Amino acid sequence: MRLPSKRLIVSGAAAWLIAFALGGMDSRHASIASSDHSGPKTWLGALPFEGVAFAQSQGPNTQMSEVAFKNIQVLKGIPVDEFMGTMGLFSAALSVCCGDCHTGAGTSNPKWEDDPPRKRVARRMVSMVNAINKDNFGGRQVVTCWTCHRGSQSPAVTPGIDAIYSTPTFVPPDILPVAPPATSGTPPADQILDKYIQALGGAANLAKLTSYTAKGTSQLFGEAQADQAEIDAKAPNQLVTLVHQREGDLARSYDGRDAWVMLPLTVVGEYPLTKGAKEGAKLDAQMAFPGGLKQFFKTWRVTYPATLDGHDVYVVQGIGDEGMVATFYFDKKTGLLTRMIHYANSAVGRVPVQTDYSDYRPVAGVMMPYKYTYGWVSGREEYSLTEIQPNAAVAASKFARPIQRAK
């Protein structure tokens, strides 16, 4: 992504704090959504969750933004994880960081509830966007912060002549059009998914893999050093990823029922994922045992084939029950999955999570990606596995909340 100012290249927690400190001077130095090296990699971790109790008796997913926070005027009635997704989308849309709208973000004394001018503008923008969608698009969420801002604080007004006469950049829509099989030459979803299962080693081998533990490293976007990572998985769909970051542990877990995220740099313990985001976590866990992928979605659709990093791919989309949409890119030649993006709805648009897979190698007769990149609005982690133990014993407590922190 192009950015308007010179980048600072620093690393580690210091970068995160510097990003905030700079926010007041030149907010464009700090970005979570760009190729900026000084942006906060883990902003969610800075949340004021201390004392936020998730009402367990009503299920873990009932904490609403206006209850968890102090000064909520427009983003009411949404769960905490969705609220944080909206903050991620704000930051991404404007290429800014939390500290550009909030007082004291990144310090030991953040005042998230304060209303500095830019935050007030953002609040007005939420109302504006809701009104645009309501008045013109029957309430469909077609205009979002990104529609105008595209990574800039002042949306462009005039088309540049160079832009008119250069190759337009094609940005596919989230919900892809269905390709007519007769003319597009695309096989039905069933065939693409069957070929994937074959490519992985076949249904029989997949069924024999019932758990695994893996070790390796996770390189956080913008960081100079990689962190140790541990992954535990148990069929059919339990998964926990634990990364020992310098600032503390990052973890994502799905225990077959509930999903949790735990972040470092934090006052927070953990927060639960809800709705489409939880369904996304469930899908991530399913992908540890992809033999069950076909059954995961009731609705599959095939769109036009595409090219991804120079490889021809089939593009297939699954529509979940809780509003999650997931797009899968299967290499035409190998049949293997190279990319998966899942989207969860939020009050201000879809929140994307993208995983890119590579370096498939056989483990107990099943091809497993030794490298993958997990990108979300709060950072991008590049995993590189060094060992995978198939069918290792994994204690149920691994997936349970609270997530186990490193000693």
Q: Which of residues 18-47 bind ligand HEC (CB under 6 A)?
A: 43, 46-47
Cβ proximity to ligand HEC, 28 vs 301, nearer residue: 28
- Among 10-18, 146-154, 211-219, 355-363, the segment contacting ligand HEC (CB under 6 A): 146-154
Cβ proximity to ligand HEC, 90 vs 328, nearer residue: 90
Q: Hey, what are 108's tokens?
A: 């030991």
Q: How far is CA 90 from the centre of its chain?
A: 14
- Choosing from 9, 24, 26, 113, the residue that interacts with ligand HEC (CB under 6 A) is 113
d(CA 276, CA 122): 24
Q: Does 101 bind ligand HEC (CB under 6 A)?
A: yes
- Among 8-16, 153-161, 174-182, 219-227, the segment contacting ligand HEC (CB under 6 A): 153-161
Q: Hey, what are 233's tokens?
A: 């998985």
- Choosing from 13, 74, 226, 306, the residue that interacts with ligand HEC (CB under 6 A) is 74
Q: How far is CA 312 from the centre of its chain?
A: 24
Establish how many alpha carbons lie within 13 A of residue 135's alpha carbon, considering only the half-sphere containing its beta carbon: 6
- Choosing from 5, 35, 73, 299, the residue that interacts with ligand HEC (CB under 6 A) is 73
For residues 332 and 192, the answer to whether their CB atoms sit within 8 Å is no
For residues 348 and 89, the answer to whether their CB atoms sit within 8 Å is yes
Q: Does 109 bind ligand HEC (CB under 6 A)?
A: no
For residues 384 and 216, the answer to whether their CB atoms sit within 8 Å is yes
Q: Tokens 């969860």 — which residue?
A: 344
Cβ proximity to ligand HEC, 285 vs 351, nearer residue: 351
d(CA 294, CA 388): 24
Cβ proximity to ligand HEC, 134 vs 333, nearer residue: 134
Q: Does 90 bind ligand HEC (CB under 6 A)?
A: yes
For residue 34, the tally of other CB atoms under 10 A from its CB is: 17
Q: For the CB of residue 17, give the shortest distance to ligand HEC in the complex, in Å.
A: 14
For residues 240 and 260, the answer to whether their CB atoms sit within 8 Å is no
Residues that bind ligand HEC in the complex, under the rule CB under 6 A:
43, 46-48, 69-75, 87-88, 90-91, 94, 96, 98, 100-102, 112-113, 118-119, 121-123, 125-126, 129, 143, 145, 147-149, 153-155, 348
